[in-house]
Amino acid sequence: MATYKYAKVPAKGARIGYEGGELQVPDHPIIPFIEGDGTGADIWRASVRVFDAAVEKCYGGKRKVAWMEVYAGEKAFTLCKDWLPEETVDAMREFRVAIKGPLTTPIGGGIRSLNVALRQLLDLYSCIRPVRYFEGVGSPMKEPGLLDIVVFRENTEDVYAGIEWKADSPEANRVIALIKELGMNVRAHSAIGIKPMSEFGSKRLVRMAIQYALKHNLPSVTLVHKGNIMKFTEGAFRDWGYEVARDEFAGRVVAEADLGKAGNGARADAVVIKDRIADSIFQQLLLRPAEYSVLATPNLNGDYLSDAAAAQVGGLGIAPGGNVGDGVAVFEATHGTAPKYANLDKINPGSVILSGVMMFEYLGWTEVSTMIVRGLENAIASKHVTYDLARQMPGAVEVSTSAFGDQIIKGMDR
Ligand code: NAP
């Protein structure tokens, strides 16, 4: 076990293991958490009560999470003058499954973003964002319940590789000169950004998306790309996606183009692999949402797509996320620190709570996930909700962050 200077390892807890591609989860797993900056403390206080209540209701004390606070962001900076202490990354690696609130992005520091740093240091290559509707939440759509998707967004390549140079820097000018040498032209004084996409990175992301669809009996995986224009990056993503489907999941998947063809070798319940161009998928999710289930996409497309989809079902306050690698995962709120609401006990804790739902599913504690979702559904149905949901729900009573947590716990028994 690594040594920790600031974090305390809970005495009554055990490490999660990983063997043969499967997590080995003890009854008292140690789970590191980062409370988060701004509204993070309010949100975490409510969320952890909901998590512990659901685990207790499901397992009556036989199972219990041993929470371990680790530090990042402003709290870490105050404690040890470091925005992301090495021991926090070590804890996430050692204990394998963690959850975090939102973190301030330090301005002008050496770190581009703490969230991006964590994803890269732990090789959390897939950002998973489920988007579903909760009955009663205000939405701009006529039938928001038709959208029920899970976005798998590649997390380590494309624009997130962060390779770019300022206009007129020596590096940008060298790259421009090289591009000229290669027979292409880039306007003088341009800034330069590089968009690397590899077969390895694309295939492992699509593989995880297909495995997820098979495990959850979902009907399709759609590869979202801009391959009509960027043929060797986005187009290659699509081709590598089809390749991994064909080579590794024969019989269990079928390409949309082969549907209904005799001798395609696919089972009747095979997952359909389709592809859509990035701009088209935005209108498809608005006009024909029921035709989509799992989406696998390179980084930038996925960034836009997951927030746009979250807006269709009622906003960021209830949009969860998880960053998952091989045997390591960090679940997180998808919104930021919303600093103007810090310490007012006002903000919606739903995003972290639903990220917890994803976390318990990942641990295999699916009863807990089901229990929390039931609690949240009933809390929303009772119309006692935080300000963001209340302002979109006629007749709703606005309640605080902590009172909303209470409503969710109450809702578990209904
Ligand atoms: P933000 O914190 O997401 O807040 C923008 C607005 O979104 C809020 O004013 C609020 O809207 C709404 N909102 C956010 N969280 C909500 C919640 N839990 N419940 C209800 N409504 C919520 O974005 P920002 O102000 O651009 O960013 C603030 C800081 O967070 C920055 O330092 C940024 O870098 C960081 N950030 C961190 C993460 C992360 O850690 N994953 C992600 C994004 C941004 P209303 O004003 O309409 O109520």
User: What is the pLDDT tens value at each position of the chain, 414 positions in all?
Assistant: 778 999 999 999 999 999 999 999 999 999 999 999 999 999 999 999 999 999 999 999 999 999 999 999 999 999 999 999 999 999 999 999 999 999 988 776 566 688 888 998 999 999 999 999 999 998 989 999 999 999 999 999 998 788 899 999 999 999 999 999 999 999 999 999 999 999 999 999 999 999 999 999 999 999 999 999 999 999 999 999 999 999 999 999 999 999 988 888 888 899 999 999 999 999 999 999 999 999 999 999 999 999 999 999 987 778 899 999 999 999 998 889 999 999 999 999 999 999 999 999 999 999 999 999 999 999 999 999 999 999 988 899 999 999 999 999 999 997
Q: How far is the CA of 251 from the centre of ligand 1 (A)?
A: 44
- 226 included as an active-site residue: yes
Ligand 1 contact via 316 beta carbon (within 6 Å): yes
Residue nearest atom 3 of ligand 1, based on CA coordinates: 336
Q: Is there a catalytic annotation at residue 303?
A: yes
Q: pLDDT tens, 248-289?
A: 999 999 999 999 888 888 888 999 999 999 999 999 999 999
DSSP strand E in 29-186: where?
30-34, 66-69, 97-100, 126-132, 148-154, 163-165
**pLDDT in the model for residue 87:** 96
Residue 269 falls in the annotated catalytic set:
no
Ligand 1 atom, smallest distance to 341 CA: 9
**pTM listed for this prediction:** 0.94
Q: Measured from the CA of 321, which atom of ligand 1 is nearest?
A: 41
Q: Which atom of ligand 1 is nearest to the CA of 333?
A: 41
Of the chain, the end-to-end C-alpha distance in Å amounts to 42
Is residue 8 part of the annotated active site? The answer reads no
Q: 260 exposed, middle or buried (CB, 10 Å; 0-12, 13-18, 19+)?
A: exposed
Among 256, 279, 278, 275, which Cα is nearest to 266's? 256
Of 125, 160, 212, 292, which residue is the catalytic one? 160
Q: Ligand 1 center to residue 279 CA distance, Å?
A: 26
Give the DSSP H or E segment for 398: strand 397-398
* Residue ranges of E strands in 155-247: 163-165, 192-194, 220-225
Rounded to an integer, what distance in angstroms lies between the CA atom of residue 132 and that of residue 65?
27
